[in-house]
Structure 1
Amino acid sequence: MEYLFLLVLVLSLWTGSQSESVNHKLFKTGSDDFLISLSTDGTYNISVKGKQWLSSAPTYFNSDNKTFSAADGSLKLLESSASSGTDKIGDWQSQTYLYQTVDSLAVKITANIKIYKDLPIIIFQQIFNDGANWTQGENYEDICGGFPGFKMEGQSGNLGYMSFGGLMVGDTNKHFGQWYNGTSQINEGIAGGPLAWFDIDGHTIVFSPFNNFMSASFSHDKDVGGYYYGGVMGGVYSIPAGHHQDFILYYGVGVNKAFEHWGKTLRKFYGKTLTEQKKDFTITHLGYWTDNGAYYYYNTETGETYEQTMYDVKNYADKVKIPFRYIQYDSWWYYQGVGRGVKTWRSRPDVFPDGFKNVTQTLKLPAAAHNRYWASDTTYAKQNGGKYDFIVEKYKALPVTKQFWVDLFTEAKQWGLILYEQDWLNVEFSGLQALLHDLDLGTQWLTQMAEAASESGIYIQYCMANPRHTMQSLLYPAVTQIRVSNDYNPGGDQWKIGISSILASALGLAPYKDTFWTTEKQPGNIYNRTEPNWKLNAVVSTLSTGPVGPSDMVGATNVSMLMKCCREDGVILKPQYPIRAIDAQIIGEAFPYSGGPGGEVWVSYTQFSSLKFANILALNIGQGYSYTLHPKDTGIYSFKEGNGDLYAVPYDEPYGWVQFSNLYGIDITGVFTPSRIALYHVSQAIPGWFMTTIFGELDKWAPMSPQRVVSVSWTNDTVTAPLIGAPKETFNFWYLLGSKLDAVTCQLSINGTVMFKMDRDLGIATCQ
C-alpha cells in the first residue's frame, strides 16, 4: 500500500509560546481507516473510519517524588521534531516531543510516536533521557508517568471496550463496557492488561505494552473525568537514563482478527513461534492430573500413600485402556514452609516412600510437576544455610541466580520431569516488595527460569499469571502453555475460556482449561460436590488445544466419552486453532442490544489447503434471546458462500446434517443443558463437487484434526486424505458424496497409516 502523508512532516522547533500557532499533521498508517492527528503542542487524536475515537490526555511524568504535567505547565515542551526509519516491524515516520521538568533538576523526558507504513500500527515511546529517581514510591498500583493517555469521552453507544485484568491471563477480572465516562471498569495497576476498543461493527484497536512487560502498567484516573494511561509500574524507585517504555496500538476489522494480528506482530518481533508448543508432550498427549478440583488433590485412596494411589490410577487406566501418557503431581508432594510457600522442592517420604524417581520409573510415565512461590524459610537460600543467592523477605523469597534453576531442573529431569508448572505467579509478584520496586527484577526472575528450562529440555506452564507474565512469555520458547480460567471446581463454570483464550493464543500459548471429571458422581470427594457438566468440560478441554487432563477417582471414568478426545495411543485430536468467543458475543457484552447471542458462542477450526473445518459450541443462551448463527458470524468463512458451500452436523446426530449458509443458519436459541451440549461440526464443500465434503471422525470432539488427517487434496475425479494414528487403530470416517451421507470403516496399517479416497464416478468412498 502506498505510504501517503496527507500533510508533509517538517523538522521544526517549538518553544511552547502561546503566541505561536499550533501545527496539526494527519498521518495514515498501513490502513486507510486508521489515522492519527499529531500537533506540535504534544496533543494527538486517533480516528477510525473517519470518526474520532480517542483524544489525548495530558502527558505527565514523575521524578523526585513529584508529578510534572503538561496540563499545568510543570512539564514544559521544549521542542517537537520529526524523523523516519526502519526497524523489525517495518518503515516508520515519527513525531518526537522533548519535555523537561520545571524544577531545579530539569529532567528531560522524550515522548515519541511512531507510525508504520505497511501495517496498522502506532507505537508510543516514553524515553527517560536523564533517568528518574523516586518516581512514585510505595504506590505500585499507579504509574511513574502517563504517555500515551486517552480521555474517556464521547457518547454512550459509540465505542465499546474489553479490558483484561486479574489472574489466568487477565480472565478473572475482565470487564466490558462503553467508553464514555470515567466510571467505566477499566483494569489498571499490576493486574491490569491489554485493552481493546471496538464499535458495533467490530472495528477494533488493541492497546498493550510493547516491551518491558514486567514493569509496564496502566492507570485509570477517574477523578479528572476519565483518563487512561500507559506507563512504568508505579512502585519503581528509579529509572536509568535512556530507559524506554513502549506501547502499541494495533487496528483490525473484527475483534478476534485484531487480536490475532496484534499477537502475530509481537511474536514476530520477539521471535516466538509455535514450534516448541507442538513438541510439548503434555500438550500433544493425554495426561492424568491431581491439581485443585481433582479427586486426588490432597486426597488418597483409603489407607494408602500417594505413591500407591498413583499406582492404582495407572493400573485402572491400563485395565480399561485409557492411554495416559504422563501424570501431573500437584503441591501435595513437596515440603512447604512459611505461608505454605515452597521450602524444599523435593518429594516427602510420607508421600513417596520409595522416592519420586522410583514412582515415575515404576509407572513408566513422565511427570508434570507443580510449584508455587518460595517461602522465606526455603532451604535453598544462603540466608537459611543453602547455597544460592535469594532475596528473602518476611514471607516470601526469590532466587536471583540462574544456576539455582539449572540445578533444580537438572535434578528434576532425573526423576522424570517434562513440564514445570509455575503456579501462584501473581502472589509471588505482588507479595515480594523487591519485585514491585525494581525495574528489572521481574524480567530477571522469569528469564533465568525459562533459560534454564530450555537448556534442560523442560517446558513451562504459567498458572495464576497476570497479563504482564503472559506477555513476558513472548521472550521464552520454553513457556508453551498457560491456564486461562480459575481452578476447576466440580459443578462450577470454570469451563468459560472463550474470552481469555483469545489473548493466550494470540501470544503463542496453548490455553489450558484445567482438569475435569468425566462422570457426575464420584463418592468420597473432598469437595462434597457433583459434576453435571462432565461432557461439556471434556469438549472445552479438547477444543482448547491445550493439555487434556482428567482427574477422576479410580473406577469412575467415562472411558468412551473421554476417548472422544484422542487416538488409541493417547495423541489428542484437536483443532488447529483454539476455540474462542465469536465477535458477536464480545460486542454484545459492551452493546447489549447489538443482536448478539446473549450467551457463549465459540468457534475453533482446522484448515487443509483452502478448506476450513470448524467446530461451533453454543452455551447458556439467555432467556428471551433468539439467535441464528451464520457463516459470516464465525469469523472464519469470509467468502460469500452460496447454498451448499458449507454443511453443519450436530456432534451426536450425523444424519441431522444441514446446509450452513447466509440463508440457512444454525438456530442456537435456548441451547445447552448438562445432559446435552450444542456442538456442531462444519465442513467446507470440495470445490467443483456437488454437495460433497468430508465430515471426518464424528466419534471425536474434533473430527477433522491434523493429528488424524494429514491433508486433503482433490482432482476432478477423486478426493484423497492420508490418515494417521495408532497401529491397527479402527474408526469410522464420515463423508457426504453427492448428497449421500455415509461412513467408511478405516483400519490403519501396522505403520499407523491409511488412505481415505472418494471416487466421483463410482460414487463411493474407501479406506485402503
Structure 2
Amino acid sequence: MNLVLGIILWSIIAFALLCLFVYLTLPWIFKKFVSPFFNASYIYNSRDFKKKEKIFSEQINTPKLSINPNNGIFQISFGNNRNLSDGIIKFHSKGYYYSNSRRLSKKTRLLNLIKSSREESDDVLGNFEKTILEYELADHNVQIIASIKQYRNQNYVIFELTFPDGLSDTTTGKFEDLIVSFPSFYNDSPNKRIFTYREAIFCPPSRKLNPTSAPVVLYDNELNCMIICPLDGFLNTMISEDKEGRINCGIQGEITSLPENFSQKFILYFGKGINDPMEEVGNLLLRYHNSERKDLYADIVCSHLGYWTDNGAYYYYKTEKGLNYEDTLVAIKDYLKKEDIPIRYFNFDSWWYLKHTNKAFTTIFRPIVRLMGGGLYGNTLRWETDPENFSTDLKTFYEERFQTPITAHNRRWDSRSPYLDEYDFITYKNHACPLNLDFWEWLMQHAQESGIVVYEQDWMNNQINSIPYLREDINAIERWLNSMAVAAKNNKIDVFYCMETPGITLYSIKHPNITITRCSGDYNHRWPLTYRYVHSTQTNILIHSVGLISHPDVFRSRSMEGISMRPFGEKSPILKCLYQNLNAGPICPGDKKEHVNWQLLKKTCRDDGLLLKPDKALTANDLMFKPHKKYYICDTYIKREELIWRFILITNIWPNRVKETYITPEELGYNWDNYILYDYFAQKIEKVNREQAINIGKLEKYGYKYYILNPILENGISFIGAVDKFIPCSKKQIVDLNSNPNSLKFVVKDVKGAKLKILLYSERKPEKIYLNDHPLDFTKSIGEYWNYGEGKLLSIFLNFKEDTSKTVEIII
C-alpha cells in the first residue's frame, strides 16, 4: 500500500515538475522553434553583403502578352530577361488531367483549341483587349473558355477560365493538388523572393510558396515585384508551386464538381515595393466587387475603448473570488465607472455560452486550458448563457443589469446541439455547420436583443477542416459565411473574423458589415516579440490591402516596470499599448479591474473613450523585405490631402542581426525633402532631410524607439499636435488643418474637462494667434495661452469647459 502511494505521490511531483519546466521554457521554445514560421521578412546573412552587387534588368510594369495561335500557350514579358513562360491550362476530371500543353506527363490528355478571337471592351477596372480561347473535350462533350484581359496602359492582366457545361468528378483527393490551374506558368525572372501567407489560422506570413489562397508577391532585391491574386471565388482558390517550379493558380483539390458556367479569375499585377503594390491590388479587388474600405470607426468596437475577457485576459475563464460571471461583469463595470475609465463596450469570450465540455477535465487542467485558448472546452451546444455563470438569459441580464454594448464570441458548432432539431446543419462526427439563412436570422435577432453589436466568429479554419462537405462543395463555405453576414446586417450587427485563412480575409470585401479580423495568435504576456508582433505587422499588409480593420488581441496594461519579480505580469505594457494604437483597430485592455492602467490608456483616446488613430494599421516597412542590417522597422501614417505624417516604431527584436543603428527617410521610402523628427519618448525635436541619417543608437534587447516625421509647411511651420497622445494629430481630435504662406489654421475637437498642449515647430515666432477669432494671450501660466521658445517650439494650451471644437489661427 505504501509503495502504491509513493508511486502516486512521486508521479504527481514529476508531473508538476514537468509542467513547471514546460511553463518556464515556453518563451524560449516559441522564440527558437515557433517564431520563425511567422516571419517573412529578410533574414540577415553576411554573405549577402560580401558578394558583388548583382545588377538586375529594368522591370517594365506594362506587360506584353504573346499567345501561340495553335494551342493558346502564352508568355508574358515585363523587361529584359523577365518573362512568365509556358503559360498553360490544366484541370482534372474523371481521373485524368487535361492540358493544352504536350510537355506535361504522358498521362495528361490534350485539350484541342477550336477557336480564338479578340474583342475590346471596358469594365470597372478600365478599357481592355480580351483574347478568348475556346477548347473542347471531344470525348466528354465539355467546353472550356479561357480569356486573358490586357488593360490599356495599365500594370495588370486578368485571367479567367470558364466551364459553360460545368465539370464533374474533379477531385484529386488532396487539398493541395489543384483541380484547375489557369494561369499556370514558369517564373523566368529575377523576382525569386516570395512574400505570401500560409493557408493557416491568422494568415501567417511566409517566404515559401506552399499552397495558399493568399496573394503571392514575387520580387527581387530591389523590390521590383509581381503579384498574383484571386479576383473572386476566394474561399476555394489556391496558388501553389510544383516540384518543377511551375506556379499554378486554381481551385483546391477536394472540390468534387464545378457547376454550369463556373469561372475562376486571377489578377496579375506588376509594380515596385511590398506595401503599396499590395494596397493597390486590394483597391482593384474592391473596385471589381463594388466595395469600399471599412471605416476605421465602423462600430463601437472599432471606435471606442473596450474591456476584453478573451484568452490572455485576467477574467478569461476566471471570475472574482466568490462571484459567478454575471456578478463579476457587473462588478467590473461598476468599478470602471467609479474610476471614470471610459469603457464603452465589453467583450464576452467563449466562457459565456454552453459547450460540449468535460467538466472534470477542464477543472483539473484549467491552467493548461487557459493557456491553450479554451480549445479544450469543445464545440458550441447552445449559444446561450451557461447557467453555472448566469442566473438568467443574456437578454434579461443585458436589459436589467448590464446595459453596455457587447461583442460576443462563438466557435465551431457541435452536432449534438439541440438547434439541429429545429434548423438544418451539415454534420460530420461531432461537428456541425449551419449554412442556411433562417438559422442565422434567428441567432442574430437573439444577439441584437441581447445587446450584442459585433458577432465574433472564431475557429473558422477549424470549422472548415472538421467537415469534409465544406471542402468538397464549391459553394458550401460561401453559403455559411454569406448567411452569417446577411443575417447580421439585417439585425444591424457587424461581424468579426477570428482564426481566419487568407481566402476568408479576401472574402470579407463582399460584405460591408464584416469589419474586423485578427492579425495574430492569442495574447500571452510571456510570448516573445519575435512571435506575435512580427506576425501581426506583416499580416496587416494583407488585412489593410482589402480594407479590413486589424485586431491584435487583448493585452495587459498594468505597468510592471521596476518590479523585479514579475513572472505573471506584462513586461512591456507601454510598447503593447502603443502598438495597439498604431494598429488603428480596437484597443483591448484585459487586466484585473483594479489594474487597468488608465494613465497609459488615455494616451490612445479622448476622455470619452473615442480612439485617436492613424489612417491604417502598422505594417513592416518595405526595407524589411530586402537585404539590410537594420532594426525591425514598422510604420503607418496620417494623410491630409498632400501632407503626410509618418509614425515609425523601431524595435530591437533580433539584436545579433543589427549592424546599422541608423536610418534615413529615403531608405524608408519617404520622398519629402525636409521633416521635423519628433522623438516621442525622449521629447526631442530635430530637423532632418530625406538623405540624413537618423541615429537610433544601440537599443537593448526588445528595446524600442517611436519617431514621428512631421511635414514642414510652406510657412515654415510643422504641426506635431497633442503630444500627450500617442497619435498627436489624429483626425478625430485635429479635425481640420489648412495653411498658406502667412498662416496656419486648425480645428481641435474634444470633450468637457480636456486640457491639451498642442506642439508645433515654427521657423519664426508668430505675430499673433487667434482662438475662435479672439486674440490668444502670450506666455500666461494658466488657462489658455501660447508660448514660443528654445528650439523654435511653439506650444498652445487649450482647456475645454464643454464638448466643443476650437479654431486656432496662427499668423506668421
**How far is the alpha carbon of 1:349 from its aligned partner?**
2.1
1:567 aligns with 2:622: no
What is residue 678 of structure 1 aligned with on the other side? Answer: 705
Percent of matched pairs sharing the same residue: 27
Q: Contact between 2:559 and 2:597, CA under 8 Å: does it hold in 1? A: no
Aligned length: 690
**1:113 alignment partner in structure 2:** 148
Q: Does 2:744 correspond to 1:744?
A: no
Find out whether 1:304 has 2:327 as its counterpart. Answer: no
TM, length-normalised to structure 2: 0.81
**Hey, which of these two has a bigger chunk of helix by percent?**
2
In structure 1, the partner of 2:63 is: 34
* Residue in 2 that maps onto 1:666: 694
Using the TM superposition, give the Cα deviation of residue 57 of structure 1 relative to its aligned residue in structure 2, in angstroms: 5.1
Corresponding letter in the other structure for 1:90: G
Deviation, 1:701, is 1.2
2:741 matches 1:716: yes
Say whether 1:85 aligns with 2:118: no
CA deviation map 1:230-266 (0-9, x unaligned)? 1122111111222110111122222111111111111
Name 1:214's counterpart in structure 2. 235
Tell whether 2:807 aligns with 1:755.
Answer: yes
Could you tell me whether the CA contact under 8 Å between 2:629 and 2:660 is conserved in 1?
no
CA contact (8 A) 1:169 1:466 kept: yes
The corresponding residue for 2:395 is: 357
SS at match of 1:625: coil
Instruction: Give the 3 Å change call, closer, same or farther, for CA 449–680 of structure 1 in structure 2.
Output: same
Indicate the residue corresponding to 1:151 in structure 2. 186
SS of structure 2 residue aligned to 1:555: helix
Query: For residues 40-98 of structure 1, what are the alpha-carbon distances to aligned partners after superposition, in whole Å with 9 as ceiling and x for unaligned?
Result: 23333333344414323543111112212323461223243322222221211122333
Which residue pairs with 1:507 in the alignment? 546
Partner SS state of residue 295, structure 1 = coil
Contact 2:455–2:496 (8 Å) recurs in 1: yes
- The reply to whether residue 609 of structure 1 matches residue 609 of structure 2 is no
**1:583 aligns to 2:622 (yes or no):** yes
The reply to whether residue 652 of structure 1 matches residue 681 of structure 2 is: yes
Contact 1:511 1:544 in 2 (8 A): yes
Q: Secondary structure at 1:56's aligned position in 2?
A: strand
What CA distance in whole angstroms lies between the structure 1 residues aligned with 2:795 and 2:329? 40
Do 1:250 and 1:262's aligned partners in 2 also have CA atoms closer than 8 Å?
yes
Counterparts of 2:418 and 2:503, CA distance in 1:
29
* Paired residue secondary structure (1:561): helix
Contact 1:168 1:483 in 2 (8 A): no
SS of the residue 2:250 aligns to: strand
Question: Residue type of the partner of 1:708?
Answer: Q
1:242 matched to 2:261? The reply is: yes
Contact 1:583–1:633 under 8 Å retained in 2: no
Distance change in 2, residues 1:411/1:271 (3 Å): same
Shift of residue 451, structure 1, vs aligned partner = 0.8
Equivalent residues in 2 for 1:312-331 (5 A)?
312-331=331-350
CA shift at 1:725, angstroms?
1.8
- Is 1:405 the counterpart of 2:440? The answer is yes
Change (3 A) 1:601 1:36: farther
Distance between the aligned counterparts of 1:451 and 1:276, measured in 2? Answer: 19
Q: Does structure 1 residue 629 correspond to structure 2 residue 660?
A: no
- Answer whether contact 1:148 1:229 (CA < 8 A) is retained: yes
Letter in 2 for 1:681: I
Stretches of structure 1 lacking an aligned partner (at least 5 in a row): 1-29, 177-184, 589-593, 761-768
Conservation of the 8 A alpha-carbon contact between 1:728 and 1:752: no
Report the AA paired with residue 755 of structure 2. Answer: T
Amino acid at match of 2:322: G
Larger deviation, residues 272-281 vs 282-291: 272-281
For 1:215 and 1:291, how far apart are their aligned partners in 2? 30
C-alpha deviation, 1:393, in angstroms: 1.7
> Partner of 2:512 in structure 1?
477
Q: Specify whether residues 574 and 277 from structure 1 end up closer, same or farther in structure 2 by C-alpha distance, changes over 3 A only.
A: closer
Aligned to 1:653, what secondary structure does the other structure show? Answer: coil
Cα distance, 1:106 vs structure 2: 4.6
Deviates more, 1:430-439 or 1:486-495: 486-495
Alpha-carbon distance, 1:115 to partner: 0.9
What CA distance in whole angstroms lies between the structure 1 residues aligned with 2:175 and 2:522?
A: 27
For the 8 Å contact 1:162–1:196, the answer to whether it is kept is: yes
How far the C-alpha of 1:696 sits from its partner, in A, is 0.5
Residue number in structure 2 paired with 1:280: 299
- Rounded Cα–Cα distance in structure 2 between residues aligned with 1:197 and 1:705: 35
Partner Cα separation in structure 2 for residue 498 and residue 39 of structure 1: 43
Q: How does 1:336-735 map to 2 (within 5 A)?
A: 336-337=355-356, 340-361=378-399, 362-381=401-420, 385=421, 387-492=422-527, 493=529, 494-496=532-534, 497-519=536-558, 529-586=568-625, 588=626, 594-595=627-628, 597=630, 599-619=631-651, 620=653, 622-623=655-656, 624-635=658-669, 637-639=670-672, 641=673, 645-654=674-683, 656-668=684-696, 670-671=698-699, 673=701, 676-687=703-714, 689-690=715-716, 692-735=717-760
CA contact (8 A) 1:286 1:325 kept: yes
Q: Return the letter of the residue paired with 2:547.
A: G
Instruction: Give, in whole Å, the separation in 2 of the partners of 1:159 and 1:569.
Output: 50
1:457 is matched by which residue type in structure 2?
K
Name the amino acid aligned to 2:222: D
Superposed CA offset, 1:169-199 (max 9, x none): 522xx222xxxxxxxx2120xx542100112
Aligned with residue 97 of structure 1, among 133, 137, 140:
133
Match of 2:196 in 1: 163
Q: How far apart are residue 144 of structure 1 and its match?
A: 0.8
Asked if the contact 2:671/2:690 (under 8 Å) is kept, the reply is no
- Tell me the distance in 1 between the aligned counterparts of 2:86 and 2:506: 25
Determine if contact 1:320/1:559 at 8 Å carries over to the other structure: no
Q: Counterparts of 2:240 and 2:61 in 1: how far apart (Å)?
A: 30
In structure 1, the residue matched to 2:217 is: 196
| Structure-2 change in CA distance of 1:375 and 1:660 (3 Å) | farther
Q: Deviations over 1:653-698 (max 9, x none)?
A: 22x2112322323234543655x531111110111x23x2111111
Q: Identify the match of residue 206 of structure 2 among 169, 175, 192.
A: 175
Q: 2:209 aligns with which of 164, 172, 186?
A: 186
Structure 2 stretches lacking a partner, 5+ long: 1-58, 358-376, 764-790
2:634/2:650 contact within 8 Å kept: yes
Q: In the aligned structure 2, how far is the partner of 1:211 from the partner of 1:297?
A: 38
Preserved contact between residue 495 and residue 537 of structure 1 (Cα < 8 Å): no
Equivalence for 1:180: none
1:64 paired to 2:79:
no
Cα offset for 1:337? 2.3
The 1:434–1:370 alpha-carbon spacing in structure 2 relative to 1, beyond 3 Å, is: same
Q: 2: distance between equivalents of 1:705 and 1:621? A: 31
Shift of 1:32: 5.4
1:447-473 superposed Cα distances (whole Å, 9 cap, x missing partner) = 111111111111111011001111111
The separation in 2 between residues aligned to 1:36 and 1:629, in whole angstroms, is 40
Q: Distance in 2 between matches of 1:663 and 1:226?
A: 40
3-state SS of paired residue (2:227): strand
How many Å apart are 1:596 and its aligned residue?
5.4
SS at match of 2:660: coil
Distance 1:438 1:459, change over 3 A: same
User: In the alignment, is the contact (CA less than 8 A) between 1:93 and 1:114 conserved in 2?
Assistant: yes
CA RMSD of aligned residues (A): 2.3
Distance 2:455 2:82 in 1: 47
Residue 253, structure 1, aligned to residue 272, structure 2: yes
C-alpha distance in 1, partners of 2:720/2:415? Answer: 56
Offset at residue 318 of structure 1 (A) = 2.3
SS in 1 for 2:419: coil
How far does residue 34 in structure 1 lie from its aligned partner after superposition? Answer: 3.1
How far apart, CA to CA, are the structure 2 residues paired with 1:595 and 1:294? 37
Report the alpha carbon displacement of residue 158 of structure 1 after superposing the two structures with TM.
5.0
